[in-house]
Amino acid sequence: MATSDFIDECRIQVCGGDGGRGCASFRREKFVPKGGPDGGDGGRGGSVIFEGDEGMATLLDTHHRKHYRAKRGDHGRGAQKTGHGGEDVVVRLPLGTVVKDDESGETLCEVLKNGEQWVAAAGGRGGWGNIHFATSTNRTPREFQPGEPGQDRWLRLELKVLADVGLLGFPNAGKSTLVSRVSAAKPRIANYPFTTLHPNLGMVEIGDTRFVMADIPGLIPGAHMGTGLGDRFLRHVERTRSLVHLLDPEPPLRGDESRGLLSDYRALRHELASYSSDLVDRAEIVCIAKSDLVPDEKRELLSEELTNAGIDVRWISSSSGEGISELVQELAKDMQSA
């Protein structure tokens, strides 16, 4: 999927079909000169229904088509014939989609299971035919009901990627490379910030354990307020069960005094806490990436601040494979105990 094809937010209008009109009709039979009412009811309008589809990974379809309207119900007919109901419109959505009322912001539904359905806009009830209005004093009623209008509203769809493990780090920290190393995913990888503009998912298998790893686009200070689209990126962390912090040793190696491993870690934790207090309580593993670039004699010096702060760190390299097997095994163990 091309980067431009990943859409994780859109606004759409859904309209249920109107109910059919009831019928005012009277029996016309031989030898029954004054037949009673026999007007049938109108059919119910169709509904707009959302359905989870595990084969979808983006809101691209709903981004391009903004309006969904179901068919109206047929009108009632004589001989007590009820009109046919309107045809439903089924809108397929990727798993992890949150449905919100566009006006109030209220969360209405979360699509989490394949095949799960939710009525987004209900069709209107069909109107009664005149058969329902007959009484002992009014045996030839001409009253009937119009059909009720279908539900009409604007909804906002937000996709939160469903993943077990979320990879966090500053841009160019090596997250995409790690996903490609431990899974069959082939994300776009290049040596400059913001190569990843949407989450990349990879299925990791070790023994009988399988889990989904998500490469969350690089975060920068102020991400929780939207800097660098960070608030949209952080949305995809909300459903992960554990987090892996990837810290980039290159800036300190180059002598960049504005960046340090401990300050980078604390900056990432600050963005998580500012976005949602729940995220700072997730299980986490802290890794220093690109270990193949760091000489052995400099490793202790680089990690000293972290260890002095009581943070357990691991050195890994997606290029050489150092520490990768141990990391995957630890994550698999966490998945089994979750």
Q: Is the dihedral of CA 200, 338, 279, 220 positive or negative?
A: negative
pLDDT at 338: 59
Report how far apart, in Å, the C-alpha atoms of 107 and of each of 119, 234, 326 are. 14, 18, 40
Identify the three-state secondary structure at position 298.
helix
pLDDT at 1: 41
pLDDT at 4: 46
pTM of the model: 0.73
Contact 179, 166 (CB under 8 A): no
Distance CA 88, CA 200 (A): 34
Contact 191, 248 (CB under 8 A): no
Distance CA 297, CA 224 (A): 37
Domains and CATH numbers, the chain: 3-159 (2.70.210.12), 165-337 (3.40.50.300)
What b/e readout covers 150-162, taking b as 16+ CB neighbours within 10 angstroms?
A: bbebebbbbbbbb
Return the ∠ at Cα 287 (arms to 283 and 288), rounded to 5°. 160
pLDDT at 203: 84
pLDDT at 219: 62
pLDDT at 118: 97
- Tokens for 111? 């699509």
Point out which residues pair with 246 in neighbouring strands. 287
Nearest C-alpha neighbor of 177 from the set 163, 166, 191, 165: 191
pLDDT at 256: 72
pLDDT at 191: 43
Contact 124, 19 (CB under 8 A): yes
What is the pLDDT tens value at each position of the chain, 338 positions in all?
A: 444 456 778 999 999 999 999 999 998 777 766 678 999 999 999 999 999 998 887 888 898 899 999 999 999 999 999 999 999 999 999 998 999 999 999 999 999 999 999 999 999 999 999 999 999 889 889 999 999 999 999 999 998 877 889 888 888 788 888 888 887 655 444 444 444 456 777 888 888 888 888 887 756 554 444 444 445 667 778 888 899 999 998 877 777 777 889 999 998 888 888 888 888 888 999 999 999 999 888 898 889 999 999 999 999 999 899 999 999 999 998 888 75
- Sheet strands side by side (includes 107-111): 67-69, 9-15, 152-159, 97-101, 107-111
Token pair 């989490």: residue: 112
In sequence order, what are the residues at sequence separation of 6 or more whose Cβ sits closer than 8 angstroms to the Cβ of residue 151? 14, 15, 16, 121, 122, 123, 124
Contact 218, 171 (CB under 8 A): yes
